[in-house]
């Protein structure tokens, strides 16, 4: 759940509470880094497991991997995109792997890397 109080967002999660200035978050941070480094969203993949990662997935043009051990909000977002909008759905991958192993799976799925056996 997200509550807005003055200029801050208060994010209430089952295990933690986060307070961030309105407009701040992982998505705006990603956009800032891409601008500063001259990165292209089309060459960027994000990975996440919970609702606090949603703003990264919403950055236009990025690819996203939802890890197998993800929580409700991110899984709902994936299913809405994968089942509805084909263009957005094609840039979101639900990995069958957990934790950091899902990142490797996402990189392979989107052909960002190759592995040698």
65-95 pLDDT, tens per residue?
Answer: 999 999 889 999 998 887 544 444 478 999 9
Q: CA distances (Å), 110 to each of 27, 73, 93, in order?
A: 20, 23, 8
- The helix or strand, by DSSP H or E, that contains position 63, with its residue range, turns out to be strand 63-66
pLDDT at position 104 is 94
pLDDT at position 59 is 95
Mean of the per-residue pLDDT values of the chain:
82
CA angle 88, 103, 107 (to 5 degrees): 65
Are residues 27 and 52 in contact, defined by beta-carbon separation less than 8 angstroms? no
Give the position of tokens 């089942």.
83
pLDDT at position 82 is 75
Q: Using 50, 70 and 90 to split pLDDT, how confident is the model at 6?
A: low
Question: 35-53 pLDDT, tens per residue?
Answer: 999 999 999 999 999 988 9
pLDDT at position 39 is 95
């Amino acid at each position: 759940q997200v509550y807005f109080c003055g200029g801050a967002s208060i994010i209430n999660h089952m295990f933690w509470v986060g307070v961030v200035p309105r407009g701040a978050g992982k998505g705006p941070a990603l956009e800032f880094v891409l601008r500063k480094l001259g990165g292209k969203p089309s060459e960027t993949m994000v990975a996440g497991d919970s609702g606090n990662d949603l703003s990264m997935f919403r950055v236009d043009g990025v690819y996203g991997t939802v890890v197998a051990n993800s929580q409700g909000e991110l899984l709902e977002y994936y299913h809405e995109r994968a089942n509805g909008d084909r263009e957005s759905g094609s840039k979101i991958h639900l990995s069958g792997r957990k934790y950091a192993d899902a990142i490797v799976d996402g990189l392979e799925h989107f052909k960002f890397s190759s592995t040698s056996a």
